[in-house]
Amino acid sequence: MQPTASVIITACWIIFLFYWLARAWSTKQTTERQSLPSALAHRIPIALGWYLMVFFRLPQPWNLQLVPHDYAAMIIGSAVCLSGLFVTIWARRTLAGNWSSDVTFKQDHELIRTGPYRYVRHPIYTGLLIMCLGTAVEVGKLRCWVGLVLVGIGFWIKLNQEERLMLEHFPAAYSLYRKQVKALVPWLL
């Protein structure tokens, strides 16, 4: 018996979670951290988006089926989610000790432009949004599509906060990087 897409998508999110937890201990010391109100500005929409994607016992119309829950949606959703997982792990490995779940500046912080950072400035967010898209396609419910939009808004707020911090610390290099590489979608956005 072959595993269903729901199992594959769940496995992707579990792998992501365990990888992130395992790698969180191998980061550089933080020298500058964003304020709590600044953190809440992106954390609230992201948390609401995750809640909508995960919590399936919501009243109507949240569980309205927008994409048919069929084999094609399951296969496409799984493939998209797997590709997003690949991007997030590749980006996290490339970022190494410079990574943080908050908007921070690290001791001996480096401007990374290798690996997936050659194609987008925020590939972890790109990968997570791809994973959310795969989940939304497979589940197909309104709540997941609204959740995807909320997560996207949260990441957009956070990436703008990170960009301001990077411009402050790497004014010339980061300005050039912004001109050469798009934020989330190669050559487009």
Q: What is the pLDDT at residue 5?
A: 54
Q: pLDDT per residue over 10-60, tens digit each?
A: 999 999 999 999 988 888 899 999 999 999 999 999 999 999 998 878 888
Global pTM exceeds 0.85:
yes
Query: Would you call 173 helix, strand, or coil by DSSP?
Result: helix
Q: pLDDT per residue over 140-178, tens digit each?
A: 999 999 999 999 999 999 999 999 999 999 999 999 999
Q: Is 98 exposed, middle or buried (0-12, 13-18, 19+ CB in 10 A)?
A: middle
What integer best gives the mean pLDDT of the chain? 93
Going 48 to 49 to 55 to 60, the CA torsion angle's sign is: positive
Question: What domains can be seen in the chain, in order of their start residue?
Answer: 67-184 (1.20.120.1630)
Reported as type and span, the H/E element at residue 105 is: strand 104-106
| Residues linked to residue 65 through DSSP beta bridges, in sequence order | 141
**Other Cβ atoms closer than 10 A to 75:** 15
Backbone angles phi, psi at 104, to 5 degrees: -140, 165
